[in-house]
Amino acid sequence: MQEKVSIIIPVYNAEKYIAHTIKSVQDQTYPDWELILVENGSTDGSKEVLKTFKDERIKIIEAGSNVGAARARNLGMEVAEGIYVGYLDADDVWRKDKLEKQIAFMKNKNAAFCFTGYEFGDESATPLGKIVKVPERLTYKQALGNTTIFTSTVLFDTRLISKDRLMMPDVKSEDSALWFRILRGGVIAQGLNENLVIYRRPGNSLSSNKLEAVKRIWNLYRKEEKLNVFVSAWHFMFWAIRAVLRRV
């Protein structure tokens, strides 16, 4: 018997991409899933695109206004019914065997927290040949200087990590803040080193703003993880090196 997977997507002004993203979920070889789309106060045609999908496995939640990615994901978490819970950004794309391979891997490893490899794609999510490989495992200390846990690759097993522990903090880089908090509690993240996700990189995306990314990560070390300046600088150095290497 298969266990249901809950997939949470915050949707904000994603009219250009969201249909492709949803279709990549519908094409999964693992069929027992629910897709929770949290419409986050979009001002484009995103809401109309969502309504064109007639699939009983798809749930649409309206946040009413732009409450931010963290709170939107938490709204999805509150209604999630799956044993496994994962995230997908509104402009990224899953390969069709992503869930099947990742869940089999998690069962084999008895993993509470799993992430996979991925590939950069262009505006149309056409793969660019730049594949990010991931380590077999990451502890808290290792993760502080390693940015390879990408949101759209992550799955959690809620039998091993309760849903209340998966609520994202309402801070910038909320996803990394959640990974750090889970790992700090003693969980080890298991890496499936297969390219199962396409990371679309529109030119105007938040992630493309390098200076903003630097500020977000530094603030995570100092304000959320309470690390002193010297320890923060040490981890930041490795974070920066790996971030550059991923993109060249």
Residue 128 lies in a domain: yes
pLDDT for the residue 246 = 60
Given a contact cutoff of 8 angstroms between Cβ atoms, the answer to whether 57 and 5 are in contact is: no
Give pTM, 2 decimals: 0.90
Residue 228 lies in a domain: no
pLDDT in tens, 160-190: 999 999 999 988 889 999 999 999 999 999 9
pLDDT for the residue 129 = 94
pLDDT for the residue 147 = 74
pLDDT in tens, 87-132: 999 999 999 999 999 999 999 999 999 999 999 999 999 999 999 9
Mean pLDDT of the chain: 92
pLDDT in tens, 127-153: 999 999 999 999 999 999 887 899 999
pLDDT in tens, 29-80: 999 999 999 999 999 999 999 999 999 999 999 998 899 999 999 999 999 9
**How buried is 229 (Cβ within 10 angstroms: 0-12 exposed, 13-18 middle, 19+ buried)?**
exposed
The count of other CB atoms within 10 Å of the CB of residue 81 is 12
Residue 82 lies in a domain: yes
Q: Where in the sequence is the domain holding 15, given as residue range(s)?
A: 5-203
pLDDT for the residue 204 = 52
Residue 148 lies in a domain: yes
Given a contact cutoff of 8 angstroms between Cβ atoms, the answer to whether 174 and 154 are in contact is: no
pLDDT for the residue 207 = 47
Residue 152 lies in a domain: yes
pLDDT range class, residue 236, cuts 50, 70, 90: confident
Given a contact cutoff of 8 angstroms between Cβ atoms, the answer to whether 46 and 69 are in contact is: no
Which residue type sits at 231?
Answer: V
Could you tell me the two tokens for 48? Answer: 């109309």
CATH of the domain at 107: 3.90.550.10
Number of domains in the chain: 1
Residue 208 lies in a domain: no
pLDDT for the residue 213 = 79
Residue 192 lies in a domain: yes
pLDDT of 216 above 90: no
Residue 48 lies in a domain: yes
